[in-house]
Structure 1
Amino acid sequence: MEVDFLLIGQGLAGTVLSHRLLQLGKKVAVIDLPSANQSSRIAAGLYNPITGKKMVKTWNADLLFPEIEPLYSELEELLGTTFLYRKNIYRPFLNIEEQNEWMGKTGEPGFEPYFEKIFSKEVYPEAVNPFGGILLKNSGYLDINTLLSAYSAFLKNNNLLLEEKFEEDFLEVLEGGFNYQGLYAKGIVYCNGLGAMKSRYFSFLPFAPVKGEILDLVQDFYPEEIINRGVFRISLPNGNQRVGSTYTWHDLDQGPTENAKNELLEKLEKLVPAPVHSIQNHRYGIRPATKDRKPFLGEHPAVSGVYIFNGFGAKGVSLIPFYSKMMVEMLLNGDQPEKEVNIDRIKKHNSNF
């Protein structure tokens, strides 16, 4: 079998990048072991243009957000299933000062695409929002697990998926390409999250793994909007609510923790104090975040044809549609990714190169 590109990993990064390459008529193969995709498969999939305690536009929002819904809608049509949920996000104000600040900010240039409405009074009696809140648009969530499963089936049906663990020791560098156990590729792209940390090619990159945990639970309050303050709370199609997420750089042990569960429940009570009738699920994932919180795009500094498309952390749903287009331009035309995400920013300060 001969392909243009062999992609390692069919998490969200590998899924979107392989789709873009296939749409352009390129031959690809993907190596993936689904049980290794815990980061993508566990992620809540939220995309939110206004984030942080200071409620600022997320990094590069004006570039990222026009790409999100068209790309995932295209994949829904291709796969014949639903996994993109367009939802407004309601973010309560903490005090009257914050309310006044955002009343003024809505008129500033650049914010209009993300504001639906400002409320100066309580919207939901079930939630803690005495000062009202802001309703955001161009937001929602992606059911990543459904997307990955449907796309995996698509790859299998087209004989493009090798469902096995990638063994880098079997990768042979040839003149003008690579041989992996009889599969010949002109280029290889590492989309395998934290697996790239163990690669002989990309172990020099400063990943900063972050553990996140989420809960699926039952409360009587079932708003159409996502409620987000301290934690996010998503009403799921099955009638449950999803609450998340924790962030820890220290406790990377495998498995969900009681501490994280209690943290989420305490923050939820401050947002929506209705009784929690039951917890249906408690899951965790280790996100492939980076020290500077910017993804890794680029070609290995010493071995031609070895690339990385990785390090998207907790915002992969928002980042990957835009940066996959940039990565395709590099793979097909040799165009260098912008400095902020190019691995050149790392290798220039690394003594190994």
Structure 2
Amino acid sequence: MGWRSVAVFLASALALAAQDFRSWARQLEARGVRVSAGIWDAGTGKVLERHQDDLALVPASTTKVVSTYALLKTLKPDFTLETEVWGDLQDGVVRGDLTFKGDGDPLLTSERVWLLVQSLRKLGVQRITGGIRLDQSAFDAQKEPQGWENTTADTLPTVLALSVNFNRDEAGKLVPDPERQSREVIQRLLQEAGIAVEGRGAASEPPRKLLGWASPPLRAMVLDINKWSNNFMIEMLVRKYGAGSWPRGVKRIQEFYRTAFNLGPEVIQITDGSGLSKENRLSARTLAIILRGAYHDFEVGPEFVSSLKVIGGEPWKLKKKDANLTRRVRVKTGHLDRVISLAGYLQTLDGQARVFAIVLNGPCGDDDVWDQVSRWAN
């Protein structure tokens, strides 16, 4: 085949692909689905296909692309939070209460509290004359961010500065009194370690900081957030990012994108970090700009890209039964009632890297997005 024939063949193939993309978008719109979608070359940023890519729609959990990259870039991957333990320790006895001051660590699980208790034992703590007190002052009193009025009641537990086990019970259900659960878990682990909690007696001296317990690094937390789409963890971090305030945390994210990407708040329209709010609005183009920026960010890009789900990789099965997609798609998914979204990276059969985003609002399903991703990848 001569070069002219090759050129004609490639032109025909591209035209057919473009026709398929347009048909896909039009068929969705004919069903009452609003579409914002596109695919770009990861290296040059050249748009390859797009449809209403500037249309801002409800993005669901692809909002986490926006929030987690901003956190990684500004706080850095090694950032940690510190839960503090305060008390009046004298000769192995904490006189009065033992106070645990929260800092927004979203991974304060029973296993990590157990390790914290072992560190208290190494300090010589043998007995506590008072009880267990929780200091939640690092966060303000706001119960939930703007836009959660229409979310399901069991979507997210109470977000407190000190929260143990995601404020859920052993069956994964929300607990009505998360502070009580946290105190009970801490007290039980102390007693199992041989540290008596007597529940009486006052401190004779002002309490002092006995221990600082660091969270896992931010890179590990972001990995859990994006792999598992953990709403609780990202909202804990957004509150911490705003010095205890959801509105300040969201505003700080928006300010980051205004400064770093020239994307103003009229483009980064978010009221939370998780995507639970149906007041959030993002376009496919906005998501793609951020994804491509992260892809070329030597400082934190590898941590961000590796936090996305690997289709056909650990521990997720293929949404679309297409073996050709295995380990060729890295993606953040989003699901709400009448909302399906995907945003991430794919590798074509000839090895080219692409950035893509699809946001659908209306009567849609997973096949509607994965059919198009399969066409792009294959």
User: What TM-score results when the alignment is normalised by the length of structure 1?
Assistant: 0.21
Max Rg structure = 2
Bigger strand share: 1
Q: Select the structure with the greater relative contact order (CA < 8 A; seq sep ≥ 6).
A: 2
Between Structure 1 and Structure 2, which shows a larger proportion of helix residues?
Answer: 2
TM-score by length of 2: 0.20
